[in-house]
Amino acid sequence: MRTTSRRWWRPLAILAISGWLGACATTPTGPSAGVEVPFPSPLSGPGHPTATATVRRHVDEGWRELLRGRYDAARARAARAGHDPAAKLLELQIETLQDPGAAVDGLQALTRSQPGYASAWITLSFAAERANEEATALAAARHAARLWGSRKWIERASQLEDRWVGSRLAEAEQDLDAGEGTRSAELARKVLAVDPGNRRATLVLARARLAQGDDAGALQAVQDLAGDPDALVIEATVAERRQRWSRAMELYRQLPDTDPRKKAALARVTRRWRIANLPEYVQAALRSPALTREQLAILVPNLLPELLALPPRNVPVISDIVDLPSQREIVTMVAAGLMRADPIEHTFDPQGTVSAARAREVLDGAIRLTGRKPPRWCEGDAAHDGCFVLSDPPTGHEVAAVLDAMEEVQPDE
């Protein structure tokens, strides 16, 4: 009985041992769990080269080995496929997973020889991305999306563009608005390194250089945007800074008539040109650190020329202005009731001082005569929110700034 009872399990034990040994014999060795492969196989997609059945078999087997992570086996299969472009791509795909920087040159050579080979372009995009060669990666992704217009590859190109172009440009524009011209320029240059000729980045770079006071750099940035309205405005801004009023007018005239900046810009530089060509006694009044009555009378009608066109009124002879070059302006101001001459002595006191309060009264009255609303004066000594402040006595530039701003406003606006 004992002998019989011990024998029944022996066949089962033999089967179990055999099964375990068989399992050990069929278990794959090496990194066979698989790897993440982001690019398509060499024999898929548009433009892949025609291959013989033998080449296809070896490349397919090599691709499966690659997916398992068995790089040596995949490389051996690629070698057996010979010099076919698909075999070359398989070799380069293996290299992309192991050393992407080393694969880039070979992939670029392959895409030059096989320009319609979509899988090669996609692989190049991934290799360059992993090697931090952003410009190559983006250009390859865009080209691949054109060759193989599937949603997956179109979205990939879009994602790279958003990361390296769109996001950086948005940040650069925010920095520029915040006064961070240096950082804005740096981001714009990064975008242009990835996407040469990008119009938006070019304009951001030019504006950042303007903010940094680098006028020459701003002009250099937009030199390839000839005729572009925003580039014209940047060029004209530099011309204004250099007080080249004729050049600024020439540039602003090139803007389309529908451009909302054209009319105001032309009016502004025309005023600047006119002021720059006024006689020296007007220029001296503009430079004055403390205006006299004569200088205030000079500035107001010259900077609001409508006053000179008012209907003439008889004014008694004013004895102390007869030999002054400013005689016409003083008579205009007295005739308009904006400034007074002594009715008994018939004098104007041209070298008399002007208080800030009196200057505000004169300016308010002159501006009302042209049909415009007078300016808003600041409370206290600090200018803010578009209000104006005058020193006591006011300077020529302070009065000019008020009149210049008022001339930009249309009558009854």
Which of 370, 366, 388, 367 minimizes the C-alpha distance to 379? 388
388 backbone dihedrals φ, ψ, rounded to 5°: -120, 150
Superfamily of domain 161-276: Tetratricopeptide repeat domain (1.25.40.10)
Q: Is 120 exposed, middle or buried (0-12, 13-18, 19+ CB in 10 A)?
A: buried
Q: Is 176 exposed, middle or buried (0-12, 13-18, 19+ CB in 10 A)?
A: buried
The length of the chain is: 413
Q: What's the predicted TM-score (pTM) here?
A: 0.73
* pLDDT for 13: 39
What amino acid occupies position 68?
R
CB 93 within 8 A of CB 100: no
- Alpha-carbon distance of 253 to 361, in angstroms, equals 37
Which of 216, 222, 223 minimizes the C-alpha distance to 204? 222
Q: Which residues share a beta bridge with 377?
A: 388
Q: Is 381 exposed, middle or buried (0-12, 13-18, 19+ CB in 10 A)?
A: exposed
Two structure tokens written together for 22:
């068989």
User: What are the b/e assignments for 294-322, b being 16+ CB within 10 Å?
Assistant: bbbbbbbbbbbeebeeeeeeeeeebebbe
What amino acid occupies position 197?
G
Tens place of pLDDT for every residue, the chain, 413 residues? 334 444 433 443 333 334 333 333 333 333 445 788 999 999 999 999 899 999 999 999 999 999 999 999 999 999 999 999 999 999 999 999 999 999 999 999 999 999 999 999 999 999 999 999 999 999 999 999 999 999 999 999 999 999 999 999 999 999 999 999 999 999 999 999 999 999 999 999 999 999 999 999 999 999 999 999 999 999 999 999 999 999 999 999 999 999 999 999 999 999 889 889 999 999 999 999 999 999 999 999 999 988 888 887 788 889 999 999 999 999 999 999 999 999 888 999 999 999 999 999 999 999 999 898 888 998 866 666 779 999 999 999 999 999 988 766 555 54
What amino acid occupies position 319?
S
Two structure tokens written together for 148:
């193989």
Name, in order, each residue with C-beta under 8 angstroms of 302's C-beta and a sequence gap of 6 or more. 275, 278, 282, 329
| Residue linked to tokens 């107001």 | 300
Q: Structural domain boundaries of the chain?
A: 53-148, 161-276, 280-408
List alpha helices for 99-148, DSSP H: 100-113, 118-130, 134-147
* pLDDT for 317: 86
| Topology (CATH level 3) of domain 53-148 | 1.25.40
* pLDDT for 278: 92
Q: Which residues share a beta bridge with 292?
A: 353
Peptide bond into 31 cis (omega under 30): no
Fold: same for 53-148 and 161-276: yes
What amino acid occupies position 195?
D
User: What are the b/e assignments for 342-352, b being 16+ CB within 10 Å?
Assistant: eeeeeebbbee
- Alpha-carbon distance of 176 to 196, in angstroms, equals 20
DSSP letter assigned to residue 385: T
CB 99 within 8 A of CB 123: no
Name, in order, each residue with C-beta under 8 angstroms of 98's C-beta and a sequence gap of 6 or more. 71
